[in-house]
Chains A and B, each alone.
Chain A
Amino acid sequence: MQSSDNKKNSGDSRRDFLKKSSLITAIALTPSVAMKAAESQADERFAELFEKIPLNVTVNNKAYKAFIEPRVTLLDYLREELHLTGTKKGCDHGQCGACTVHVDGERINSCLSLAVMNEGKKITTIEGLANGEELHPMQQAFIKHDGFQCGYCTSGQIMSAVACVREGHTNSRAEISEYMSGNICRCGAYPNIVDAIVEVKEGGMKV
């Protein structure tokens, strides 16, 4: 997973290189045992070392089937396999919240969840919030209230903010800050982020 980062490939961008290298890996490993496991109805699934195992997930209302090493995190699966790069890798240790996505409607840190733990789940990423060209109310509110500067934490902030409103943890600015504490913004846009959340909550819009 990490070794491809070290190789130099001057002709390609890093993302192109990663795409190609993952394609080669997929061909090299024929997942025969995994296929059998997928076909059987057994409740125990089994993956030998370095073997890819089947994964079925729905991401932004689209069903995906994949074969994947068990050590791949949900974050890496979304970014490197599905190329949904809106979800960001910040600390990769559950401390910053940049990787926040919704799994079955609940916000989680996708960096601390193995993709295979999410078998059969419905996942929503920042790419799945807007309705076509129409932004989600929380996205609109972040723009209106200038809820970001560099923008790196923003997709995680917005995913967390939407969940915060749905959970009902928006009864005061203090409660919002408390329930948004898992999302770090090093630019310090916190007051504006809270403004955006307050507006969406008070607007009574469907989130």
Chain B
Amino acid sequence: MINFQYLRTTSAKSALVLLQKGKNSKFLAGGTNLIDLMKRGVTAPERLIDINHVPLKQIELIGTKIHIGAMATNSAVADHALIKEKLPLLSWALQAGASAQLRNVATVGGNMMQRTRCGYFYDTEMPCNKREAGSGCGAIDGFNRMHAIFGTSEKCIAVHPSDMCIALVALDAEVVLLNSKGERKILFKDFHRLAGDTPQLDNNLRPDEMIVRVEIPLNNLAKNSYYLKVRDRASYAFALVSVAAGLELLNNKIVNVRLAMGGVAHKPWRLTTAEEFLKGKDATTENFEQAAKLSMTDAKGFGENNFKLKLAPNTIIEALNLAKSKA
């Protein structure tokens, strides 16, 4: 690992001041992705600002929203009684991600900031537009079994590997960002980016900002929610496809529905067309099949990942059926 300057602070305010003092600085939270990337020579920040002592670990209900601090660990959120009761979808998604050891360290903010990535991004001998602008994409005509089928660009077809973020985008979460002038709030669905012509950018966080918390409005989906993750082994693997499904049912009629998919795009992929189709309809397998079909309209395979064109709609149908049968 190339050496770096290490700074440590106990307040968000001073963290932002330190961030402004030098170029190529990064915040260090749990470090489970960043340190790994530094060890492999994929990234080499000149300064790390350790924010582990910044008090942003709260998990609390304020009014009609649950606030989760950016430094709350994945395991703390997943195991929290409030989250299990009100937002079980988030708890299950977190439990489906990484390993127990990683979840004890990885934070909510860090989970959001983990790189959208693939094997070519990690292999510094290979071309990758995300790692080195203009060097090309090794995956498009290469090994692309794990790669995206939605919103792809000619520059990059990597997927965002988070499970937590799939649940958060489905739950209409908002992200609160802080800079020296104050806070701004954006929708979670607008936090991450598609690759487009700028695959080096994974999200819309500005260079002078830090994530301070996410806010999730309460909902009536808890009873009929399911996070279904399909992967190569039973645990501790990235999703081939995952689906976060939440239903609010009244006499088997769909009053409200949330659907989001992971493992298929450069960002957490919300299935709004399918949601609109399902609203007001009966919760039947036929309607779920139709919704899944509508979700796949713009999907595109790249060879090895063509199987996702079939796996994705099947996973949507299965997740909806499992969410429905939970009641």
Contacts and interface: CB of A to CB of B under 8 A. Distances in A.
A and B found bound together: yes
Interface of A: 1, 43-50, 53, 69-71, 73, 92-94, 97, 100, 106-109, 112-114, 116-117, 119, 160, 163-164, 167, 169, 177-183
Given A113-B31, A177-B235, A182-B236, A163 B100 contact: yes
Contacts of A180: 100
Contacts of A48: 5
A113 B110 CA distance: 14
Nearest to A106: B104
A46 B14 CA distance: 13
Contacts of A119: 8
Given A107-B100, A112-B31, A182-B99, A69 B14 contact: no
A100 B50 CA distance: 22
Which of B2, B32, B48, B104 has the most A CB atoms < 10 Å from its CB? B104
Contacts of B36: 93-94, 112
A130 B14 CA distance: 43
A97 B35 contact: no
Contacts of B98: 182
Contacts, number: 107
B204 interface: no
Interface residues of B, number: 35
A181 B236 CA distance: 6
27 contacts: A43-B14, A44-B7, A44-B18, A46-B6, A69-B3, A70-B3, A70-B4, A70-B5, A71-B1, A92-B39, A94-B36, A106-B75, A107-B100, A107-B101, A108-B105, A109-B32, A109-B105, A112-B36, A112-B102, A113-B31, A113-B35, A114-B6, A114-B28, A117-B28, A117-B50, A117-B52, A182-B99
Interface in B90-127: 98-102, 104-105
A123 B270 CA distance: 41
Interface string B221-247: 000000000000011100000000000
Contact of B7 (A45, A50, A117): A45
Given A44-B18, A49-B4, A70-B4, A182 B9 contact: no
Interface string B1-30: 111111111110010001000000000100
B101 A160 contact: yes
Given A50-B3, A117-B28, A117-B50, A182 B102 contact: yes
Given A93-B36, A181-B99, A182-B99, A113 B105 contact: yes
A41 B229 CA distance: 48
Contacts of A181: 99-100, 234-236
B35 A112 contact: yes
A158 B35 CA distance: 25
Contact of A44 (B9, B31, B52, B99): B9
Query: Which 10 pairs show the lowest CB-CB distances between chains A and B?
Result: A182-B99, A70-B6, A181-B235, A181-B236, A43-B10, A47-B6, A106-B104, A71-B1, A182-B101, A45-B8
Given A71-B1, A116-B6, A179-B100, 14 more contacts: A43-B10, A44-B7, A45-B6, A45-B7, A45-B8, A47-B7, A53-B6, A70-B4, A70-B6, A71-B2, A92-B39, A109-B32, A114-B31, A163-B100
A164 B100 contact: yes
Contact of B31 (A1, A43, A93, A117): A117
A44 B4 CA distance: 16
Nearest to A169: B100
Contacts of B75: 106
A44 B39 contact: no
Nearest to A118: B52
B57 to A, nearest CB: 13
Given A92-B39, A116-B50, A182 B3 contact: no
A97 B31 contact: no
Which of B5, B35, B39 has the most A CB atoms < 10 Å from its CB? B35
A70 B101 contact: no
Contacts of A49: 3-5
Nearest to A116: B6
Contacts of B99: 94, 97, 181-183
Contacts of B53: 43
Nearest to B52: A117
B31 A160 contact: no
Contacts of B5: 46-49, 70
Given A43-B9, A50-B3, A117-B50, A108 B39 contact: no
A92 B36 CA distance: 9
A157 to B, nearest CB: 12
Contacts of A47: 5-7
A188 to B, nearest CB: 13
A93 to B, nearest CB: 5
B32 A94 contact: yes
A182 B100 contact: yes
Which of A97, A112, A169 has the most B CB atoms < 10 Å from its CB? A112
